[in-house]
Amino acid sequence: MFLSSNLGVQHCELGRIMVGLGILLRLFY
């Protein structure tokens, strides 16, 4: 378990996913 070291990386990953979802919502809606 590398939660302490990969916490920042996971946060960036979630941020990218959120941005991607936002773009998709704008395109479809």
Q: What is the pTM of this model?
A: 0.49
pLDDT, tens digit (0-9, with 9 covering 90-100), for 4-28: 666 666 666 888 999 999 999 998 8
Q: CA–CA separation, 29 vs 20, rounded Å?
A: 14
Residue for token pair 């809606």: 29
CA angle 29, 16, 3 (to 5 degrees): 140
Q: CA–CA separation, 15 vs 22, rounded Å?
A: 11
DSSP state of 29: -
**Statement: residue 29 has pLDDT above 90:** no
Give the C-alpha distances (Å, rounded to integers) separating 25 from 11, 14, 29: 21, 16, 5
